[in-house]
Amino acid sequence: MLIGSPPKPAPEGQPFAFGVIADPHLAVTLPDREERLRTALACCADAECAFAVICGDVFENWDERCIHTLRRALQEEFGRAVGLVPGNHDVGNKPGLAGQITQEARMRWVDAFGGDRWSFDYAGRRYIGINNVLLGSGLPAEEEQNAWLEEQLTTGAVVFAHYPFFLQKPDEPRQEYWTVDEPARSRFLDTATRHGVAAVFTGHLHRDRRVVLDGRIHATTPATSFSCDPDPTLVGYRIVRASAQGLSDEMHRLPPGVYNPPQAG
Ligand SMILES: [Zn+2]
Protein backbone atom coordinates (compact mmCIF):
# COMPACT_ATOMS: atom_id res chain seq x y z
CA MET A 1 0.00 0.00 0.00
CA LEU A 2 1.03 3.61 -0.11
CA ILE A 3 3.13 4.53 2.89
CA GLY A 4 3.73 8.16 3.80
CA SER A 5 1.92 11.23 2.60
CA PRO A 6 0.69 11.21 -0.98
CA PRO A 7 3.12 12.85 -3.41
CA LYS A 8 2.86 16.62 -3.60
CA PRO A 9 0.86 17.56 -6.67
CA ALA A 10 3.01 18.36 -9.70
CA PRO A 11 1.63 20.76 -12.27
CA GLU A 12 0.04 18.75 -15.05
CA GLY A 13 2.38 18.34 -18.00
CA GLN A 14 5.54 19.08 -15.99
CA PRO A 15 8.25 16.40 -16.16
CA PHE A 16 9.10 14.56 -12.95
CA ALA A 17 10.83 11.36 -11.81
CA PHE A 18 9.83 8.34 -9.76
CA GLY A 19 11.89 5.45 -8.43
CA VAL A 20 11.45 1.69 -8.79
CA ILE A 21 13.11 -0.58 -6.23
CA ALA A 22 12.81 -4.38 -6.08
CA ASP A 23 13.40 -7.29 -3.75
CA PRO A 24 15.05 -5.84 -0.64
CA HIS A 25 14.48 -9.18 1.18
CA LEU A 26 14.77 -7.57 4.63
CA ALA A 27 15.72 -9.92 7.46
CA VAL A 28 16.64 -9.04 11.04
CA THR A 29 19.72 -11.24 10.83
CA LEU A 30 20.98 -9.57 7.63
CA PRO A 31 21.46 -5.84 8.37
CA ASP A 32 23.36 -5.33 5.10
CA ARG A 33 20.05 -5.81 3.27
CA GLU A 34 18.58 -2.86 5.13
CA GLU A 35 21.67 -0.81 4.29
CA ARG A 36 21.31 -1.45 0.56
CA LEU A 37 17.60 -0.62 0.62
CA ARG A 38 18.52 2.61 2.42
CA THR A 39 21.14 3.38 -0.24
CA ALA A 40 18.63 2.85 -3.06
CA LEU A 41 16.08 5.07 -1.29
CA ALA A 42 18.69 7.78 -0.78
CA CYS A 43 19.61 7.59 -4.49
CA CYS A 44 15.92 8.01 -5.40
CA ALA A 45 15.72 11.01 -3.06
CA ASP A 46 18.84 12.51 -4.70
CA ALA A 47 17.20 12.04 -8.10
CA GLU A 48 14.29 14.12 -6.73
CA CYS A 49 11.79 11.32 -7.21
CA ALA A 50 8.24 12.38 -6.36
CA PHE A 51 7.50 8.86 -5.12
CA ALA A 52 8.93 5.36 -5.27
CA VAL A 53 7.52 1.85 -5.52
CA ILE A 54 9.01 -1.36 -4.12
CA CYS A 55 8.08 -4.25 -6.41
CA GLY A 56 7.78 -7.05 -3.83
CA ASP A 57 9.90 -9.40 -1.77
CA VAL A 58 10.09 -6.64 0.77
CA PHE A 59 10.91 -9.32 3.35
CA GLU A 60 13.02 -12.47 3.17
CA ASN A 61 10.30 -14.13 5.26
CA TRP A 62 7.35 -12.54 6.95
CA ASP A 63 8.60 -11.09 10.24
CA GLU A 64 6.72 -8.37 12.15
CA ARG A 65 10.02 -6.88 13.31
CA CYS A 66 10.98 -6.06 9.72
CA ILE A 67 7.91 -3.87 9.26
CA HIS A 68 9.40 -1.41 11.71
CA THR A 69 12.78 -1.64 9.97
CA LEU A 70 11.11 -0.90 6.65
CA ARG A 71 9.04 2.04 7.86
CA ARG A 72 12.04 3.63 9.54
CA ALA A 73 14.20 3.27 6.42
CA LEU A 74 11.48 4.77 4.20
CA GLN A 75 11.00 7.71 6.52
CA GLU A 76 14.67 8.41 7.18
CA GLU A 77 16.04 7.98 3.65
CA PHE A 78 13.14 9.06 1.45
CA GLY A 79 10.36 10.76 3.44
CA ARG A 80 7.91 10.72 0.53
CA ALA A 81 5.18 8.37 -0.62
CA VAL A 82 6.25 4.78 -1.28
CA GLY A 83 3.99 2.18 -2.86
CA LEU A 84 4.45 -1.47 -1.90
CA VAL A 85 3.29 -4.56 -3.73
CA PRO A 86 3.72 -8.04 -2.25
CA GLY A 87 6.10 -10.66 -3.62
CA ASN A 88 6.31 -14.40 -3.19
CA HIS A 89 8.60 -14.09 -0.18
CA ASP A 90 5.97 -11.86 1.43
CA VAL A 91 2.72 -13.77 0.81
CA GLY A 92 3.72 -17.19 -0.60
CA ASN A 93 4.68 -18.54 -4.00
CA LYS A 94 2.61 -18.38 -7.14
CA PRO A 95 -0.07 -21.09 -7.42
CA GLY A 96 1.23 -24.56 -8.25
CA LEU A 97 4.49 -24.24 -6.35
CA ALA A 98 5.20 -25.50 -2.82
CA GLY A 99 4.38 -22.87 -0.23
CA GLN A 100 1.87 -21.15 -2.50
CA ILE A 101 -0.09 -18.06 -1.51
CA THR A 102 -2.91 -18.52 1.01
CA GLN A 103 -5.61 -16.14 2.15
CA GLU A 104 -4.06 -16.20 5.62
CA ALA A 105 -0.62 -15.14 4.34
CA ARG A 106 -2.20 -12.50 2.14
CA MET A 107 -4.14 -11.08 5.08
CA ARG A 108 -0.96 -10.63 7.13
CA TRP A 109 0.21 -8.25 4.41
CA VAL A 110 -3.19 -6.57 4.04
CA ASP A 111 -3.46 -6.04 7.80
CA ALA A 112 0.05 -4.59 8.01
CA PHE A 113 -0.16 -2.25 4.99
CA GLY A 114 -3.88 -1.60 4.50
CA GLY A 115 -4.24 -3.53 1.22
CA ASP A 116 -2.41 -5.38 -1.52
CA ARG A 117 -3.58 -3.18 -4.38
CA TRP A 118 -3.75 0.58 -4.77
CA SER A 119 -3.93 3.35 -7.33
CA PHE A 120 -3.37 7.06 -7.44
CA ASP A 121 -3.24 9.79 -10.05
CA TYR A 122 -0.22 12.01 -10.44
CA ALA A 123 0.47 14.71 -13.04
CA GLY A 124 -2.17 13.43 -15.40
CA ARG A 125 -1.30 9.73 -15.23
CA ARG A 126 -2.59 6.83 -13.15
CA TYR A 127 -0.26 4.59 -11.11
CA ILE A 128 -1.52 1.17 -10.01
CA GLY A 129 -0.01 -1.51 -7.76
CA ILE A 130 -1.35 -5.06 -7.86
CA ASN A 131 -0.74 -8.36 -6.10
CA ASN A 132 0.06 -10.61 -9.05
CA VAL A 133 1.12 -13.51 -6.84
CA LEU A 134 -2.64 -14.09 -6.60
CA LEU A 135 -3.09 -14.79 -10.30
CA GLY A 136 -4.25 -18.35 -10.87
CA SER A 137 -4.83 -18.99 -7.16
CA GLY A 138 -8.62 -19.09 -7.32
CA LEU A 139 -8.77 -17.15 -4.06
CA PRO A 140 -11.74 -14.75 -4.00
CA ALA A 141 -9.31 -11.83 -3.93
CA GLU A 142 -8.08 -12.78 -7.43
CA GLU A 143 -11.38 -12.05 -9.17
CA GLU A 144 -12.00 -9.06 -6.92
CA GLN A 145 -8.68 -7.65 -8.04
CA ASN A 146 -9.36 -8.38 -11.73
CA ALA A 147 -12.68 -6.53 -11.54
CA TRP A 148 -11.06 -3.65 -9.66
CA LEU A 149 -8.24 -3.44 -12.21
CA GLU A 150 -10.72 -3.14 -15.10
CA GLU A 151 -12.23 -0.14 -13.34
CA GLN A 152 -8.90 1.46 -12.46
CA LEU A 153 -7.03 1.20 -15.76
CA THR A 154 -6.84 4.32 -17.89
CA THR A 155 -4.89 5.16 -21.04
CA GLY A 156 -1.21 5.65 -20.22
CA ALA A 157 -1.46 3.97 -16.81
CA VAL A 158 1.64 2.49 -15.15
CA VAL A 159 1.32 -0.86 -13.36
CA PHE A 160 3.62 -2.25 -10.64
CA ALA A 161 3.72 -5.92 -9.64
CA HIS A 162 6.18 -8.54 -8.42
CA TYR A 163 6.24 -11.31 -11.05
CA PRO A 164 7.15 -10.43 -14.64
CA PHE A 165 4.36 -11.53 -17.00
CA PHE A 166 6.98 -12.98 -19.39
CA LEU A 167 10.74 -12.86 -19.90
CA GLN A 168 11.22 -12.21 -23.63
CA LYS A 169 7.87 -12.68 -25.35
CA PRO A 170 4.31 -13.49 -24.28
CA ASP A 171 4.12 -16.85 -26.10
CA GLU A 172 7.35 -18.26 -24.63
CA PRO A 173 7.12 -21.60 -22.76
CA ARG A 174 5.94 -21.65 -19.15
CA GLN A 175 8.61 -20.71 -16.62
CA GLU A 176 8.42 -22.85 -13.50
CA TYR A 177 9.52 -20.13 -11.10
CA TRP A 178 9.99 -16.82 -12.85
CA THR A 179 6.80 -15.60 -14.52
CA VAL A 180 3.00 -15.51 -14.31
CA ASP A 181 1.38 -18.65 -15.78
CA GLU A 182 -1.32 -18.86 -18.41
CA PRO A 183 -4.18 -18.11 -18.65
CA ALA A 184 -3.56 -15.20 -16.25
CA ARG A 185 -0.62 -13.94 -18.34
CA SER A 186 -2.67 -13.49 -21.52
CA ARG A 187 -5.62 -12.13 -19.62
CA PHE A 188 -3.49 -9.39 -18.06
CA LEU A 189 -1.66 -8.55 -21.29
CA ASP A 190 -4.93 -8.35 -23.25
CA THR A 191 -6.36 -6.08 -20.57
CA ALA A 192 -3.22 -3.91 -20.59
CA THR A 193 -3.33 -3.58 -24.39
CA ARG A 194 -7.04 -2.80 -24.43
CA HIS A 195 -6.59 0.01 -21.90
CA GLY A 196 -3.37 1.41 -23.40
CA VAL A 197 -1.15 0.73 -20.37
CA ALA A 198 2.17 2.54 -20.86
CA ALA A 199 4.46 0.47 -18.64
CA VAL A 200 4.62 -2.54 -16.34
CA PHE A 201 7.38 -2.52 -13.71
CA THR A 202 8.25 -5.72 -11.86
CA GLY A 203 10.91 -7.42 -9.73
CA HIS A 204 11.49 -11.08 -8.79
CA LEU A 205 14.24 -11.86 -11.32
CA HIS A 206 17.06 -10.16 -9.41
CA ARG A 207 18.23 -9.17 -12.89
CA ASP A 208 17.79 -6.21 -15.20
CA ARG A 209 15.43 -6.84 -18.07
CA ARG A 210 13.51 -4.59 -20.42
CA VAL A 211 11.22 -5.46 -23.35
CA VAL A 212 8.88 -3.16 -25.27
CA LEU A 213 5.71 -4.93 -26.37
CA ASP A 214 2.97 -3.13 -28.35
CA GLY A 215 4.64 0.16 -27.37
CA ARG A 216 4.39 -0.78 -23.68
CA ILE A 217 7.48 -0.99 -21.48
CA HIS A 218 7.93 -4.24 -19.51
CA ALA A 219 10.89 -3.64 -17.21
CA THR A 220 12.25 -5.71 -14.36
CA THR A 221 14.52 -3.91 -11.94
CA PRO A 222 17.45 -5.68 -10.25
CA ALA A 223 17.15 -6.44 -6.55
CA THR A 224 18.84 -4.40 -3.85
CA SER A 225 19.38 -7.61 -1.82
CA PHE A 226 21.41 -9.91 -4.10
CA SER A 227 21.91 -10.79 -7.74
CA CYS A 228 20.68 -13.78 -9.79
CA ASP A 229 22.30 -12.25 -12.88
CA PRO A 230 25.42 -13.73 -14.51
CA ASP A 231 27.02 -10.62 -13.03
CA PRO A 232 26.97 -11.42 -9.29
CA THR A 233 27.58 -7.78 -8.39
CA LEU A 234 24.42 -6.47 -10.10
CA VAL A 235 22.28 -4.67 -7.52
CA GLY A 236 20.40 -1.52 -8.46
CA TYR A 237 17.24 0.49 -8.88
CA ARG A 238 15.43 2.32 -11.67
CA ILE A 239 14.67 5.98 -12.25
CA VAL A 240 11.70 6.70 -14.52
CA ARG A 241 11.15 10.14 -15.96
CA ALA A 242 7.61 11.04 -16.95
CA SER A 243 6.77 13.94 -19.23
CA ALA A 244 4.15 14.94 -21.75
CA GLN A 245 6.23 13.00 -24.32
CA GLY A 246 5.95 9.76 -22.37
CA LEU A 247 8.15 7.70 -20.05
CA SER A 248 11.88 7.07 -20.14
CA ASP A 249 13.49 4.68 -17.69
CA GLU A 250 17.04 3.90 -16.75
CA MET A 251 18.54 1.25 -14.49
CA HIS A 252 21.24 2.43 -12.11
CA ARG A 253 23.67 0.27 -10.17
CA LEU A 254 24.06 0.89 -6.46
CA PRO A 255 27.31 2.76 -5.81
CA PRO A 256 30.52 0.67 -5.87
CA GLY A 257 31.41 -0.99 -2.58
CA VAL A 258 27.82 -1.11 -1.29
CA TYR A 259 27.51 -4.79 -2.17
CA ASN A 260 30.18 -7.48 -1.87
CA PRO A 261 28.62 -10.70 -3.11
CA PRO A 262 29.62 -13.97 -1.46
CA GLN A 263 32.58 -15.59 -3.20
CA ALA A 264 31.62 -18.54 -5.39
CA GLY A 265 33.07 -21.98 -4.67
ZN1 LIG B 1 13.21 -11.77 -4.65
Residue-level pLDDT at 24: 98
CA of 226 to the centre of ligand 1 (A): 8
Residue-level pLDDT at 147: 98
Question: Is residue 264's pLDDT more than 60?
Answer: no
Asked, for residue 262, whether it belongs to a domain, the answer is no
Angle at 194 between CA 221 and CA 154, to 5 degrees: 70
CATH of the domain at 203: 3.60.21.10
How many domains does one find in the chain? 1
Asked, for residue 177, whether it belongs to a domain, the answer is yes
Asked, for residue 264, whether it belongs to a domain, the answer is no
Residue-level pLDDT at 260: 86
Asked, for residue 265, whether it belongs to a domain, the answer is no
Question: Is residue 158's pLDDT more than 60?
Answer: yes
CA of 22 to the centre of ligand 1 (A): 8
CA of 158 to the centre of ligand 1 (A): 21
Asked, for residue 76, whether it belongs to a domain, the answer is yes
Residue-level pLDDT at 4: 62
pTM reported for the whole predicted model: 0.96
Over range 72-90, report the average pLDDT. 96
Residue-level pLDDT at 176: 86
Question: Is residue 33's pLDDT more than 90?
Answer: yes
CA of 206 to the centre of ligand 1 (A): 6
Dist. CA 225–CA 236, nearest whole Å: 9
Q: What is the DSSP letter of 5?
A: S
Whether the CB-CB separation of 131 and 117 falls below 8 Å is answered with: yes
Asked, for residue 261, whether it belongs to a domain, the answer is no
Residue-level pLDDT at 191: 97
Asked, for residue 263, whether it belongs to a domain, the answer is no
Question: Is residue 262's pLDDT more than 60?
Answer: yes
CA of 14 to the centre of ligand 1 (A): 34
CA of 171 to the centre of ligand 1 (A): 24
Print the domain residue range for 226: 2-8+17-253
Asked, for residue 260, whether it belongs to a domain, the answer is no
CA of 261 to the centre of ligand 1 (A): 16
Q: Please, is 255 exposed, middle or buried when counting C-beta atoms within 10 Å of its C-beta (0-12, 13-18, 19+)?
A: exposed
CA distances from 62 to 86, 172, 249 (A): 11, 32, 31
Dist. CA 68–CA 74, nearest whole Å: 10
Residue-level pLDDT at 41: 98
